[in-house]
């Protein structure tokens, strides 16, 4: 098991290193010159001053030199300064937005896991019945609906038309902090973010449980007179959860991408909204730091998922 964990950790570090290269190259390939973000286009600037600024920022060096300079600074915790925020250090700025995004992600994932597993069990047990058909239609709609569409429709339906939930923000302006107020603002965006993830978990849970229910040991338990409820709960669900564990970890990346749209729709003060504002203002330092942190989080979640799956199923670590 320790050898398997060490192998997965090394592989995760290599993936993180490859991610730094990808982020750096992709941003350098975007249209325009990075130096444009540092100057005011309405104010004329001499070529000598422009060249001096480019040299001070290291933009006159070859790309490999620029990459290793940035990587060395990043490893020491220096991700540069935010142009949009008046020269504020990037790392504290990005870290200050982690908590709202983590809260939104954990809430959405918890909803998706509970609803997806329960709905998958009901759908499998009630195969080809009205409950199964209704849940299957919901799952197909949930998987095929992008986050920005569900976010806009949910905002319009539940905030504008029905006025059940606030239309944006994390807290009510002008009021002291309250857990109930935070929950009131969290319910709608977290639920909308969980739709695609929960629908996918439901489909996998349904298929996995149907496969397990057709196994010989399940038929043997039924033949012995074990009640159907205990056949499903005690004998089938536990084994059917194995592939779902891997799925939950793999859907975290998609949920993070969906969180960017949900945060922009609901003006949720997390990393997604910060990244959108940084892209619109071409704040390269913030974009690189936030993207790297998100990518590292996805790699870490997948690593923990693989370890958990290997702990449950010894065949994985012995393969």
pLDDT band at 243 (very low <50, low <70, confident <90, very high): confident
- Taking only the tens place, the pLDDT of each residue in 166-213 is 888 887 877 787 888 888 888 999 998 888 888 888 888 888 888 887
- Taking only the tens place, the pLDDT of each residue in 50-86 is 677 677 766 677 778 888 888 888 888 888 777 777 6
Question: What residues contact residue 74 under an 8 Å CB cut-off, 6+ apart?
Answer: 20, 289, 292
pTM of the model: 0.77
Task: Specify the higher pLDDT residue, 50 or 288.
Answer: 288
Mean pLDDT across 212-233? 75
User: Is the four-CA dihedral 61, 67, 69, 74 of positive or negative sign?
Assistant: positive
Domain range 98-269, CATH class: mainly alpha
Q: Where are the domains of the chain?
A: 2-95, 98-269
Q: What is the DSSP letter of 75?
A: H
The pLDDT value recorded for residue 38 is: 64
**Residue 242 in this model has a pLDDT that exceeds 80:** no
Taking the C-alpha atoms of residue 305 and residue 250, their distance in angstroms, rounded to an integer, is 8
The pLDDT value recorded for residue 262 is: 86
The pLDDT value recorded for residue 252 is: 73
Among residues 306, 301, 308, the alpha carbon closest in space to that of 197 is found at 301
Tokens of 58: 């290291």
* Percent of the chain whose predicted confidence (pLDDT) is above 70: 86
Taking the C-alpha atoms of residue 81 and residue 296, their distance in angstroms, rounded to an integer, is 21
Task: Specify the higher pLDDT residue, 227 or 112.
Answer: 112
């Amino acid at each position: 098991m320790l050898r398997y964990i060490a192998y997965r950790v090394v592989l995760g570090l290599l993936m993180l290193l490859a991610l730094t290269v990808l982020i750096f190259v992709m941003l350098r390939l975007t249209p325009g010159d990075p130096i444009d973000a540092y100057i005011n286009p309405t104010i004329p600037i001499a070529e000598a001053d422009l060249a001096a600024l480019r040299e001070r920022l290291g933009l006159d060096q070859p790309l490999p030199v620029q990459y290793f300079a940035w990587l060395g600074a990043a490893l020491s915790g220096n991700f540069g300064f935010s142009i949009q925020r008046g020269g504020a250090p990037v790392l504290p700025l990005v870290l200050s937005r982690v908590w709202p995004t983590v809260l939104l992600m954990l809430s959405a994932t918890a909803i998706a896991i509970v609803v997806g597993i329960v709905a998958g069990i009901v759908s499998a047990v009630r195969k080809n019945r009205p409950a199964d058909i209704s849940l299957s239609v919901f799952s197909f709609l949930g998987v095929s609906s992008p986050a920005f569409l569900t976010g806009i429709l949910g905002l319009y339906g539940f905030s504008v038309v029905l006025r059940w939930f606030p239309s944006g923000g994390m807290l009510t302006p002008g009021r002291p902090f309250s857990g109930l107020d935070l929950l009131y603002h969290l319910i709608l965006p977290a639920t909308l973010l969980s739709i695609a993830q929960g629908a996918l978990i439901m489909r996998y849970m349904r298929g996995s449980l149907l496969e397990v229910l057709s196994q010989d040991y399940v038929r043997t338990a039924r033949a012995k007179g074990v009640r159907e409820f205990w056949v499903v709960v005690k004998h089938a669900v536990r084994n059917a959860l194995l592939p779902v564990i891997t799925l939950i970890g793999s859907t975290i990346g998609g949920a993070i991408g969906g969180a960017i749209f949900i945060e922009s729709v609901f003006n949720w003060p997390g990393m997604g909204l910060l990244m959108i504002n940084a892209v619109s203002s071409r704040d390269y330092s913030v974009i690189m730091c936030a993207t790297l942190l998100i990518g590292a989080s996805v790699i870490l979640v997948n690593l923990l998922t693989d370890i958990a799956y290997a702990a449950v199923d010894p065949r994985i670590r012995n393969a």
